[in-house]
Structure 1
Amino acid sequence: MTLTELRYLVAVARERHFGRAAEACHVSQPTLSVAIKKLEEELDVKIFERSSNEIAVTPLGQEIVRQAQVVIEQAQLIKEIAKRGRDPLAGPLRLGVIYTIGPYLLPDLVRQVIERTPQMPLLLQENFTVKLLDMLRSGELDCAILAEPFPDAGLAIAPLYDEPFRIAVPASHPLAQRESLSAEELKQETLLLLGNGHCFRDHVLEVCPEFARFASGAEGIQRSFEGSSLETIKHMVASGMGITVVPELSVPAEPPPHLKFLHFTEPVPSRRVVLAWRRSFTRYEAIAALRNAVMACRLAGVQRINA
């Protein structure tokens, strides 16, 4: 049994015709037919039912075809692994990013990666921290950009930047006349929060712990509302429903007329954003290239960590 014979097998199952399958495999029909017959004899099973008009795959043949496809894909993966060994930057890098970072970092990051390492396209996945950690452990992702803290999963970590928080208020709100506010002053306001699962929600509740009780009980609905994304919450703020806390990179260069973004007074709350990957992941050069691409992004208002 050879990979070539398995490729012929899959082609016949796909085309349901020996002539079309031979054409797809760039061989003569007799060559393909002989290979399929040889494979059936070796396995001592009937894979195809032949008639004058069409070819059908037997029930047992369908299982064999599915497994043949797996073997072909795994053989191709061996070639990809060898290729990455020769050039660690060659081939896609599967990157996860949390929801509160992705929309603000990825547009610039993708451009930087295309310019710097065009041979390493990014396969992107946005999700919650917990889900991204699961995908890292299972090997579905190669690395992820997360905000600390998160459960220790035995991952390798490289810090990227410290990102301060800002306060978003309606332009018509009395506080909009201020340039900065303390966390203490937020206690009297209606605070809009991200829904459960977002780590940034927990960061905000660390800044304003008194709102934690509103997040889990119905009585708090008058003082604490939830949104599915930072952009949704900003629209809620603009419509006058309350105020919110956002990360620096989500603040647009030209804020819309109905919103005002204020600074926190000292001490300014912030979050540390890091790049995480499995310690067993061997494409170290790819991780370094990605981190360098992040550092080349604009990252206005954040403190890069070059260590």
Structure 2
Amino acid sequence: MTLTELRYIVAVARERHFGRAAEACFVSQPTLSVAIKKLEEELEVKLFERGGAEVSVTPLGDEIVRQAQATLESAASIKEIARRGKDPLAGPLRLGVIYTIGPYLLPALVRQTIDHLPQMPLMLQENFTVRLLEMLRTGELDCAILAEPFPDTGLAIAPLYDEPFQVAVPHRHALADRPSITSAELKQETMLLLGTGHCFRDHVLEVCPEFARFASHAEGIRKSFEGSSLETIKHMVAAGMGITVVPGLSVPPPGAPSDGLVNYVPFADPVPTRRVVLAWRRSFTRYEAIAALRNAIYACALPGATRLSS
């Protein structure tokens, strides 16, 4: 059994395809296939089901792949230990961010890391929560910025900040000049939602559960529309198609260039919020990099959010 063989089975489990796994490992498919077959013969177990267009991992194979990933990380930590002896923060950090956080946090965060952590460039990946969790598990990412709740995957979690929600309405809307809005007042409105897969969609439906029924005849609902991103939905609000709920960091700051077509109104108490956290594998050894990233996030403006220190 070799580390190379372990890399191959982790790649196949991640890609669910021998050809793509071979490309990811920079070897030919026959080379990868022969190595995996050799490992299966040595272990006397079947790691993968090869029928159909997509490869699947057997139940026992899944356990072995998880251990292989941990073994590869342990081996990599030897180099990390040596690198940390010279500079604990040396080397890129692979960071994942969900779609409803990335556009609003990353510009300031990237500036912070360039200015104060030039030896630790961020390699960024935006995606849905479920995909980022999978990438953390398989080692494609080192850490990720997520919004709770999400499935317990045994990850280490550090809270970053609590972010309040606001209501985005067309500037000529009857609610546009209100000092605050209750969730009950949104029941009769046309609500614009993110599409399935976005965790923020679920957050909005917790605030306004009436919209979960998605039927134009449902009591208290006129109609619901879906958008692919918060910015797309804001354009729909500006066009007068309805209203939406947005996270606080996505609200343009006072004095920012704006077309004035959207008004942002706070919620009345109790204000709905989401908790944003940093997650990483417990086996990840670059503790100083995680701490430095948290400090860089805390150094960002985070308007309206409440920073959390523990």
- What TM-score range do you get, normalising by the shorter chain? 0.7 to 0.9
2:259, 2:304 → 1: CA distance?
19
1:106 aligns with 2:106: yes
Larger displacement relative to structure 2 (175-184 or 190-199) = 175-184
Match for residue 145 of structure 1? 145
Report the Cα offset of residue 177 of structure 1.
Answer: 2.0
Matches within 5 A, 1:99-248: 99-214=99-214, 223-248=223-248
1:132, 1:266 → 2: CA distance?
33
1:258 aligns with 2:288: no
SS in 2 for 1:176: coil
1:139, 1:204 → 2: CA distance?
31
In 2, are the aligned partners of 1:88 and 1:286 still within 8 Å (CA)? yes
Report the Cα offset of residue 115 of structure 1.
Answer: 1.4
2:183, 2:222 → 1: CA distance?
20
Match for residue 38 of structure 2? none
1:290 aligns with 2:293: yes
2:28, 2:195 → 1: CA distance?
44
What is the identity, as a one-letter code, of the residue corresponding to 2:287? Answer: Y
What is the identity, as a one-letter code, of the residue corresponding to 2:83? Answer: R
SS in 2 for 1:204: helix
The match for 2:274 among 268, 271, 276 is 271
The number of residue pairs the alignment matches comes to 238
1:304, 1:262 → 2: CA distance?
22
What is the identity, as a one-letter code, of the residue corresponding to 2:264? Answer: F
CA RMSD of aligned residues (A): 2.5
The change in CA–CA distance for 1:63 and 1:246 in structure 2 (over 3 A counts) is closer
SS in 1 for 2:132: helix
Report the Cα offset of residue 92 of structure 1.
Answer: 0.4
1:293, 1:143 → 2: CA distance?
14
Q: Deviations over 1:121-155 (max 9, x none)?
A: 00000000000000000000000000000000000
Match for residue 84 of structure 2? 85
1:103, 1:219 → 2: CA distance?
35
In 2, are the aligned partners of 1:163 and 1:273 still within 8 Å (CA)? yes
2:259, 2:157 → 1: CA distance?
36
Larger displacement relative to structure 2 (189-198 or 171-180) = 171-180
In 2, are the aligned partners of 1:189 and 1:242 still within 8 Å (CA)? yes
The change in CA–CA distance for 1:282 and 1:244 in structure 2 (over 3 A counts) is same
The change in CA–CA distance for 1:261 and 1:63 in structure 2 (over 3 A counts) is closer
Report the Cα offset of residue 114 of structure 1.
Answer: 1.2
Report the Cα offset of residue 179 of structure 1.
Answer: 1.6
Report the Cα offset of residue 85 of structure 1.
Answer: 3.4
SS in 1 for 2:176: helix
Report the Cα offset of residue 116 of structure 1.
Answer: 1.4
Q: Deviations over 1:37-59 (max 9, x none)?
A: xxxxxxxxxxxxxxxxxxxxxxx
In 2, are the aligned partners of 1:96 and 1:124 still within 8 Å (CA)? yes
What is the identity, as a one-letter code, of the residue corresponding to 2:226? Answer: E
The change in CA–CA distance for 1:84 and 1:171 in structure 2 (over 3 A counts) is same
What is the identity, as a one-letter code, of the residue corresponding to 2:279? Answer: A
Report the Cα offset of residue 273 of structure 1.
Answer: 0.3
What is the identity, as a one-letter code, of the residue corresponding to 1:302? Answer: A
1:134, 1:63 → 2: CA distance?
25
1:295, 1:106 → 2: CA distance?
12
Q: Could you tell me the percent identity over the aligned residues?
A: 71
In 2, are the aligned partners of 1:176 and 1:260 still within 8 Å (CA)? yes
Higher helix share: 1
Q: Deviations over 1:220-266 (max 9, x none)?
A: 79510000000000000000000000000000113431110001000
Q: TM-score, normalised by structure 2?
A: 0.72
Match for residue 46 of structure 1? none
